[in-house]
Amino acid sequence: MVIQSCKLSEAILTQYAMEPLGEEIAFKVHYWGVTPKHFNTPLHRHSFFEVCYVLSGEGLYKDMDGQYPLKKGTVFLSRPNVQHQILSETGLFLVFVAFEILHEKSKDDAISMFNRLAKTNKICVNVADDPPTSLIWRALVDYTSNGGVNDFNLITNMAHTLILSFNSMFSEATQRSRSQEKMFSSPTHLYQAKLFIRDNLSEPLKLEHVANYLHISKRHLSRLFSNELRESFSNYIRKERVKEAVRLLETTSIPIKEIADVTGFGSVHYFTRVFTEMMNVSPAKYRYDYEKIVQKRGILNNN
């Protein structure tokens, strides 16, 4: 049953996922493969990346830098232009994918990231603890072999995510580079940051705290706001605090001091200064003018 599922997945991926595209990087897939009984191969090389996932069996992977034992749960990387060989007396059950970067559809930082991967010395990883790569790969096989054939976008997005995850799996870096962080943080991180700010306006909301919540660096979070929203993190928060203050002034009768507290300004003086700078009117005057407008509308409607 596992063999049949993998074979069906291979056929669907070969049809739908040969050029997974992303905003930062695109890949050309040369082949998706399944071999239930993979024995010895001759020493050879190829010009692209190949990543194999051992589903069962035992063997040995050899390349110019050393040799590595293979067993169930091993994921191993063949680097471009490096001679290598897979050996097994009993046969390995492998699923694998071969790919390269589409340079004309990828950004320089992303290309550099995978150029570094081509020189990594981290060749084999045991996935007994289910890192993201193995989870994504298994999910991709399950989805494509169980009726997911009609959702082209999801298949290609999952394939792209899988290939992108190889960089993290085989990277020797202990911390993400700027390009890695940009690759994995997508617009979702900015959206999450905006939601977090909206729901926690009464808190101090320092850059460090929001970045830690999102598991990204302060520098990268600051860059997201400046690049995507064209304003600083601190200015965005001030605007959100004033926006919420406007809502409270218009829809409630709670004291201005309390509004200053719940919107995170901390003091009436600071709240009044920022609000007046941004709205060209004090909070008290804004509420007074708004109430007059509402009353006037009510009179006109009654007439």
- The whole-number pLDDT of residue 65 equals 74
The reply to whether 209 and 164 lie within a common domain is no
Residues of the chain with pLDDT below 70 are 1, 128-129, 147-150, 173-187, 299-303
Q: Based on the structure, what is the number of domains in the chain?
A: 3
- pLDDT tens-digit readout, 250-272: 999 999 999 999 999 989 999 99
For the chain, report the end-to-end CA distance as a whole number of angstroms. 77
CA distance 137 to 105: 24
The reply to whether 153 and 292 lie within a common domain is no
Domain membership of residue 27 as a residue range: 2-174
- Asked if residues 81 and 29 have their Cβ atoms less than 8 Å apart, the reply is no
The reply to whether 225 and 239 lie within a common domain is no
- pLDDT tens-digit readout, 7-54: 889 999 998 899 998 888 999 999 999 999 999 999 899 999 999 999
CATH of the domain at 98: 2.60.120.10
The reply to whether 24 and 119 lie within a common domain is yes
The reply to whether 115 and 170 lie within a common domain is yes
Strand intervals (E) in the chain: 27-38, 49-56, 59-63, 66-70, 74-78, 84-87, 92-101, 124-126
Token readout for 273 is 């200064």
The reply to whether 142 and 194 lie within a common domain is no
Torsion of CA 108, 109, 110, 111, to 10 degrees: 50
CA distance 125 to 76: 6
CA distance 1 to 132: 24
CA distance 281 to 277: 8
- The whole-number pLDDT of residue 180 equals 52
Instruction: Read off φ and ψ for residue 117, nearest 5 degrees.
Output: -60, -35
The reply to whether 209 and 93 lie within a common domain is no
The reply to whether 9 and 124 lie within a common domain is yes
- Asked if residues 40 and 67 have their Cβ atoms less than 8 Å apart, the reply is no
Neighbouring C-alpha atoms within 13 Å toward the C-beta of 224: 26
The reply to whether 101 and 20 lie within a common domain is yes
Among candidate residues 188, 210, 230, the one where a domain is terminated: 230
Instruction: Read off φ and ψ for residue 32, nearest 5 degrees.
Output: -100, 135
CA distance 154 to 143: 10
The reply to whether 149 and 189 lie within a common domain is no
Which is it for strands 92-101 and 49-56: parallel, antiparallel or unpaired? Answer: antiparallel
- The whole-number pLDDT of residue 148 equals 59
Among candidate residues 194, 211, 230, the one where a domain is terminated: 230
CATH of the domain at 244: 1.10.10.60
The reply to whether 218 and 161 lie within a common domain is no
Among candidate residues 189, 211, 230, the one where a domain is terminated: 230
The helix/strand/coil state of 21 is strand
CA distance 187 to 13: 26
The helix/strand/coil state of 193 is helix
The reply to whether 214 and 163 lie within a common domain is no
Token readout for 223 is 């860059």
Token readout for 211 is 């970045």
